[in-house]
Amino acid sequence: LEEYSFGRRAWLYKYRGFVFPNLFLDKIRNIHTFDVREDDVWVITFPKSGTTWVQEIVYLLMNDLDTEKALKLNIDIRFPYFEFVEPGLQAIAEMPSPRLIKSHLPFSILPNQMKNKRPKIIYIVRNPKDIVVSYYSFAIKFLKMVPFNGSFEDYCQLFVSDKVDYGPWWKHVSEAWNRRDDDNVLFLVYEDLHLDTGKHVREIANFLGKPVSDEQVDMIVKHCSFESMKQNNSVNYEWMKDAGIANKEVQFMRQGKVGDWKNHLSTEIVRQLDDMVTTKLPPDLSEQIKDS
């Protein structure tokens, strides 16, 4: 994808119709043959769709609402990023059950055993207009290691022409949507979580087989509110700044809003993203995409 990469030469590759950085493709064979367990819980998303928010909710539900432990231990240790370099597939393979695993891989590129072991999978979809703003802020401004010499508009063009990491977005979400009725899959919408977080905490709890009281729901909603997570160093990725891999003046916990794209996107990009939603998604999925 060199000609589209704005300095990201040798970073992005296409595999089975999706775009990935080379560091994931290097271990693709190990991804496919990874041993899945029936009692794993996987949170899977296209990046910037509310992954961290749902991870924290799932963590509390699976750990007797132990907020003290959640505040103490970094989320990447409690709930590792499957295909990333740290902690790596070997370390995840050795974790005690029940494992909590985050991944941005699309359904068609997950380990082969997902089909037979049928672990619980929670997928979250978010409207692509807020995603592109959030993705640019994270991948280009927050992270230091991704070379990119284009503008925000260039980045938006990459997104609409399906050339950002893990894209095409529409293909990623469509694959998950097609599996939404599987009994081991829970399909959530970021914007719905905003509207009524408590309702969805309860839905996630029931899906995980961890029923909660009204009081417990309130406690989880409070611990996982945007304002609270922004201040919480175990989930706000401030550690990346200390490690020298993220820029101090940019926040991972940026806005946490629905519709902030209105302050950033050009009319032309809005038109192209609207087009993507109406022409590339199955009609019943298009109806789920809420961007204001």
Query: Which residues are catalytically annotated?
Result: 104
Q: Which of 103, 127, 137, 234 binds ligand A3P (CB under 6 A)?
A: 137
Is 129 an interacting residue with respect to ligand A3P (CB under 6 A)? Answer: no
- Closer CB to ligand A3P, 75 or 89, in the complex: 75
Outline where 140-179 has alpha helix (H).
152-160, 169-177
Of 23-31, 105-113, 147-155, 224-232, the window that binds ligand A3P (rule: CB under 6 A) is 224-232
Query: Which CB, 32 or 199, lies closer to ligand A3P?
Result: 199
Instruction: List the one residue from 8, 11, 41, 50 that touches ligand A3P (CB under 6 A).
Output: 50
SS3 184: coil
Asked if residue 157 binds ligand A3P (CB under 6 A), the reply is: no
Residues in a beta bridge with 47? none
Q: Which of 134, 232, 234, 288 lies at the binding interface for ligand A3P (CB under 6 A)?
A: 134
9: number of Cβ within 10 Å: 11
Among 229, 246, 276, 289, binds ligand A3P (CB under 6 A): 229
The interface region with ligand A3P, picked from 51-59, 91-99, 110-118, 215-223 by CB under 6 A, is 51-59
Distance between CA atoms of residues 276 and 128, nearest Å: 9
d(CA 157, CA 147): 17
Distance, CA of 156 to CA of 139 (rounded, Å): 12
Total residues at interface with ligand A3P (CB under 6 A): 20
Element (H or E) spanning 45, and its range? Answer: strand 41-45
Binding of ligand A3P at residue 49 (CB under 6 A)? yes
Report the nearest approach of ligand A3P to the CB of residue 226 (Å).
4
Q: Is residue 51 at the binding interface for ligand A3P, with CB under 6 A as the rule? A: yes
First to last CA, the chain: 33
Burial class (CB in 10 A: 0-12, 13-18, 19+), 8: buried
CB 125 within 8 A of CB 176: yes
Q: Which CB sits closer to ligand A3P, 123 or 177?
A: 123
Q: Which is nearer to ligand A3P, 30 or 143 (CB)?
A: 143
Of 20, 45, 129, 207, which lies in the binding site for ligand A3P, with binding defined by CB under 6 A? 45
Nearest to 129 by CA among 48, 226, 54, 17: 48
**With contact defined as beta carbons under 8 Å apart, do 4 and 144 qualify?**
no
Nearer to ligand A3P, 154 or 260 (CB): 260
At residue 288, the 3 state secondary structure works out as coil
Instruction: Say whether residue 130 binds ligand A3P (CB under 6 A).
Output: yes
Closest separation between CB of residue 236 and ligand A3P, Å?
8
Please give the structure tokens belonging to residue 290: 């809420």
Residue 10 or 195 having the CB closest to ligand A3P: 195
Q: What is the distance between the alpha carbons of residues 175 and 285, in angstroms, rounded to a whole number?
A: 11
Q: What residues line the site for ligand A3P (CB under 6 A)?
A: 45, 47-53, 130, 134, 137, 224-226, 229, 253-256, 260
